[in-house]
Amino acid sequence: MEERQTFWDKMQEKGYTRRDFLKFCAWIGAASGLQASSIGSLVHAMETKPRPPVLWFHFQECTCCSESFVRSSHPIVADVVLDHISLDYTETLQAAAGHQAEEARRHTMEKYKGQYLMLVEGSIPTAANGVYCCIGGHTALDIVKEAAAGAAAIVAWGNCAYAGCVQGAKPNPTQATPIRDIIKGKPIVNVPGCPPIPEVMAGTIVHYLAFGRLPQLDSQGRPKAFYSRRVHDTCYRRPNYDAGLFVETFDDENARKGYCLYKVGCRGPVTYNACAVTKWNEATSFPIQSGHGCIGCSEAGNWDNAPLYEHLPGVLGYTSETDADTVGMVAAGITTAALGVHALTANARKRKQIRKQIEESPGGK
């Protein structure tokens, strides 16, 4: 396998027709927000560019990102992009094990130094020199640094690699750290979510494989095509929000009518993701459509922003459900009491001054 095949070569081997191939290119192009005129260059790239080698690392994670990816609504994603993406190393799916697997990883890292794409699922524990996550006798921290040094680009899958997710929540005992805080000076694309939407993952990867560069990113390093808008701003229940029609409790009439879930803690207004557009499971549904608010799984710190069923977090995080308004009202109450005391005192202490002024004024007495 000296000559790296192109996508089109691989698809022909797998028995896909030209028609299937073009349909796939059009579909993934549309899903990634490419304009129609770019589909031609996508097709051309898939026909001519050798597929770059890919290393997919698993650290502190639950593999839901991989699970999501293999459930993409387009079969070619799983069949070609994942299966034959030239995944030279991935703990979950590779046939090799133990020394063989490590050997495959080293081989790719040496042979394709500066060319391979590094996919990272999971966060990196940095407490106690990283002993909380070791693979093949090396800490995740060492592996990441070593692999990143020779990577052409890094894709950080999921909330773990983006922000630490569950294990990064307070008090974060293992000091779970996102990739972007460890690796500097390499192009990193963050694809947050728990897990990310499979089409979003496929779109990001195909964009890189086809064009050789990362898609356009926002200030947080997320592909703009998928993360530039809030779930709330693309939600099909949004008209209910603007009309002031809210679900008050999960079992009320309003819930049955499909009103906005804002008052039962939907985090759609603070969550950037494509759930309301791309949806899940072959575009069947997404959390809000199923009647439950968004929990903000693609946002940094979402597990610390408790309580989950309030749209604003509590003042002291998960330890207290005291909300901002309670604090504000108590402060306003104390202020009112202080002003009252001041007013009473003023009448006593300043009486002489006020009386003198009244007496001195014309017609005062």
Partner 1 sequence: MEQKGPSRVTFYVWQLPVRLFHWINALCIVLLIITGYLIGNPVALQNSQEAHMGHWFGTVRLIHFAAAYVFLFAWIYRIIYAFMGNQYARWTNYLPLSQKQWDEFKDVIAIDIFMMVEERKIHSPGHNSVACLSYLFLGLASVFQIASGFGLLAPMSEWWIADLFTWIVPMMDGDTNVRFWHHLMMWFFVIFTMVHVYIVAFHDYVEARGTTSSMIGGWKFVEEKDLQK
Stretch of 57-65, 76-84, 115-123, 270-278 contacting partner 1, by CB under 8 A: 270-278
Q: Residue 263 CB, nearest distance to partner 1 (Å)? A: 7
Residue 230 gets which letter from DSSP?
A: B
Least Cβ distance, residue 334 to partner 1 (angstroms): 9
**263 is a site residue for partner 1 (CB under 8 A):** yes
- Cα–Cα dist 284/332, whole Å: 48
- Restricted to residues 208-247, the positions that interact with partner 1 (CB under 8 A) are 219-220, 228-230, 233, 239-246
Pick between residue 4 and residue 292 the one whose CB is nearest to partner 1: 292
Tell me the residue type at 272: Y
Query: Would you say 72 or 305 has its CB closer to partner 1?
Result: 305
Longest dimension (CA), the chain: 110
Residue-by-residue DSSP string for 152-180: EEEEEEHHHHHH-TGGGSTT-TT-EE-HH
Q: Which stretch binds partner 1 (CB under 8 A): 104-112, 120-128, 145-153, 348-356?
A: 348-356
Minimum gap (Å) between residue 161 Cβ and partner 1: 16
Nearest distance in Å: CB 201, partner 1: 21
Report residue 278 as tokens: 């791309």
Among 58, 105, 267, 279, binds partner 1 (CB under 8 A): 267
Q: Which of 309, 92, 65 lies closest to 165 in space, CA to CA?
A: 65
CA angle 307, 280, 61 (to 5 degrees): 60
Residue entry with tokens 């029609």: 245
Binding-site string for partner 1 from residue 275 to residue 314, where x marks contact by CB under 8 A and - marks none? ---------------------x--xxxx--x------xx-
Buried b (16+ CB within 10 A) or exposed e, 17-48: eeeebeebbebbbebbbbeeeebeebbebbee
C-alpha–C-alpha distance, residues 48 and 68, integer Å: 29
Amino acid identity at 322:
T
360 lines the binding site for partner 1 (CB under 8 A):
yes
Q: Which residues sit at the interface with partner 1, rule CB under 8 A? A: 219-220, 228-230, 233, 239-246, 248, 259, 262-263, 267, 269-272, 296, 299-302, 305, 312-313, 315, 324-325, 327-329, 331-332, 335-336, 339, 342-343, 345-346, 349-350, 352-354, 357, 360-363
